[in-house]
């Protein structure tokens, strides 16, 4: 109490020292600013506060403003795997497709959105929990462009899953495009505002022993909202991403490697400063994902952390300024 009184006395003393004219000017500025805020001409809403949430008990799409329905990111529940569908102004991007047994579910989800053919497919890296369902997707839906990491010969897998993926690409008449860091794709325009996708990794010339670090990472931008989606990128790959100088300060982050402690390092999160995070992992998975250490690191930046093992499919909509999270109609309570 004594300390607070001392602080009040100091503030009073300082105010008395200010010239009367300056005090009057400050009061006028305050009154004018208040009036502008009341009329809506000036907003004090910062980026941190620019995240709006639909009530969690509503089905997907309910209470989402019409202006936010043209851009959405759906982290599909594929158990212990990854599959993300991005819809933007009539264009579509699928990132990964989970294990083989989830292929039909991913195809069904895509078709429910009215998509006959995808515009882009990104197979972040050739592990089965990311490309296992891709053969089903490519044969059933296909895509105009299929983006993959360029791997050194000694890292190219010889698994049946990878062979099936390549066969499906060939059968569909598609061609693989090697991800090139710095490449920008102009995806769509929504109300005159561009939606862009920038490839961030693998960094040129980088070599790793861990296939996860060859993951294709992309940044997707729509006005003030941005997403970082980076497959299973781990610590070594994250270091190279940071060194590259790419802008990775984003609004939302699809947490890499299912929330493993070997990803989402302090140094990376310092650069991302995420306001919203989504983790794709399987309920009761044997890896213990997401790891407690990762959850602790993420919680230093946001309390808005969504998990597919708890919520099932997570759908996030945006009007370019705010994010709205809706609960999938197929999932249980949180």
Q: Is the predicted pLDDT of residue 329 greater than 80, yes or no?
A: no
Per-residue pLDDT, averaged over 19-45, amounts to: 43
Q: How many CA atoms lie within 13 A of 125 on its CB side?
A: 26
For residue range 228-287, list pLDDT tens digits in order: 999 999 999 999 999 999 999 999 999 999 999 999 999 999 999 999 999 999 999 999
More confident residue, 7 or 119: 119
What's the pLDDT band for 10 if we cut at 50, 70, 90? very low
More confident residue, 274 or 13: 274
Q: How far is CA 211 from CA 68, 216, 295, in A?
A: 36, 11, 24
What's the pLDDT band for 53 if we cut at 50, 70, 90? low
Q: How far is CA 233 from CA 124, 308, 311, in A?
A: 9, 19, 24
For residue range 118-131, list pLDDT tens digits in order: 999 999 999 999 99
What's the pLDDT band for 62 if we cut at 50, 70, 90? low
pLDDT at 63: 78
Residue bearing tokens 């158990």: 79
For residue range 191-206, list pLDDT tens digits in order: 999 999 999 999 999 9
- Identify which of 126, 109, 110 has the alpha carbon closest to the alpha carbon of residue 118: 110
* Residue 217 β-bridge partners: 201
pLDDT at 267: 98
What's the distance, CA 56 to chain centroid? 19
DSSP per position, 295-321:
HHHHHTT-S-EEEHHHHSSEEEEESSS
pLDDT at 37: 37
What's the pLDDT band for 20 if we cut at 50, 70, 90? low
Pairing of strands 84-88, 71-75: antiparallel
pLDDT at 210: 97
pLDDT at 326: 85
Beta strands in 149-192 (DSSP E): 176-178, 184-190
Q: Is the predicted pLDDT of residue 330 greater than 80, yes or no?
A: no
Q: Is the predicted pLDDT of residue 40 greater than 70, yes or no?
A: no
Residue bearing tokens 């053919």: 117
Residue 33: other Cβ atoms inside 10 A: 12
Per-residue pLDDT, averaged over 146-151, amounts to: 97
Per-domain residue ranges of the chain: 2-39, 66-327
Q: What is the mean pLDDT of the chain?
A: 86
More confident residue, 19 or 331: 19
Alpha-carbon distance 233 to 14, whole Å? 53
Name the percent of the chain lying above pLDDT 90: 78
What's the distance, CA 84 to chain centroid? 9
Q: Is the predicted pLDDT of residue 8 greater than 60, yes or no?
A: no
Q: Taking the model in full, what pTM does it have? A: 0.83
pLDDT at 328: 57
Helices (H) and strands (E) in the chain, counts: 10, 15
Q: Is the predicted pLDDT of residue 55 greater than 80, yes or no?
A: no
Q: Which two tokens stand for residue 324?
A: 């709205």
Helix (H) or strand (E) holding 212: none
Alpha-carbon distance 190 to 266, whole Å? 34
Q: Which two tokens stand for residue 158?
A: 């010889």
Q: Is the predicted pLDDT of residue 154 greater than 60, yes or no?
A: yes
Q: Is the predicted pLDDT of residue 214 greater than 60, yes or no?
A: yes
Architecture in CATH of 66-327 = 4-Layer Sandwich (3.60)
Residues for the chain: how many in total?
A: 334
Q: Is the predicted pLDDT of residue 1 greater than 80, yes or no?
A: no
| Contacts by 66-69, CB closer than 8 A, 24 or more apart | 67/191, 67/319, 68/317, 68/318, 68/319, 68/322, 68/324, 69/317
Task: Give the 3-state secondary structure of residue 61.
Answer: coil
């Amino acid at each position: 109490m004594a300390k607070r009184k001392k602080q009040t006395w100091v503030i009073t003393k300082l105010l008395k020292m200010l010239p009367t004219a300056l005090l009057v000017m400050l009061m006028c500025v305050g009154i004018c600013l208040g009036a502008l805020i009341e009329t809506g001409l000036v907003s004090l809403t910062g980026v941190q506060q620019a995240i709006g949430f639909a009530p969690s008990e509503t089905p997907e799409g309910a209470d989402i403003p019409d202006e936010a329905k043209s851009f959405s990111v759906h982290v599909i529940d594929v158990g212990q795997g990854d599959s993300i569908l991005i819809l933007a102004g009539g264009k579509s991007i699928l990132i990964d497709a989970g294990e083989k047994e989830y292929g039909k579910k991913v195809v069904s989800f895509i078709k429910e959105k009215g998509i006959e053919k995808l515009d882009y497919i990104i197979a972040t890296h050739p592990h089965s929990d990311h490309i296992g369902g891709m053969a089903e997707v490519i044969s059933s839906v296909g895509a105009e462009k299929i983006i993959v990491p360029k791997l050194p010969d000694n890292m190219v897998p010889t698994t049946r899953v990878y062979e099936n993926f390549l066969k499906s690409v060939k059968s569909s008449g598609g061609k693989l495009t090697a991800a090139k860091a710095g490449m920008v794709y102009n995806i769509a325009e929504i109300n005159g505002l561009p939606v862009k996708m920038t490839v961030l990794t693998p960094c040129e010339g980088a070599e790793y022993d861990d296939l996860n670090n060859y993951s294709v990472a992309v940044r997707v931008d729509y006005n003030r909202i941005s997403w970082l989606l980076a497959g299973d990128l781990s610590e070594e790959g994250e270091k190279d991403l940071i060194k590259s100088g790419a802008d990775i300060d984003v609004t939302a982050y699809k947490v890499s490697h299912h929330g493993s402690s070997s990803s989402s390092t302090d140094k990376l999160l310092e650069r991302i400063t995420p306001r919203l995070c989504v983790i794709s992992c399987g309920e009761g998975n044997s890896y213990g994902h997401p790891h407690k250490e990762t959850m602790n690191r993420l919680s230093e930046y946001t309390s808005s952390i969504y998990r597919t093992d708890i919520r099932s499919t997570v759908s996030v909509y945006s009007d370019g300024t705010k994010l709205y999270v809706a609960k999938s109609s197929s999932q249980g309570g949180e």
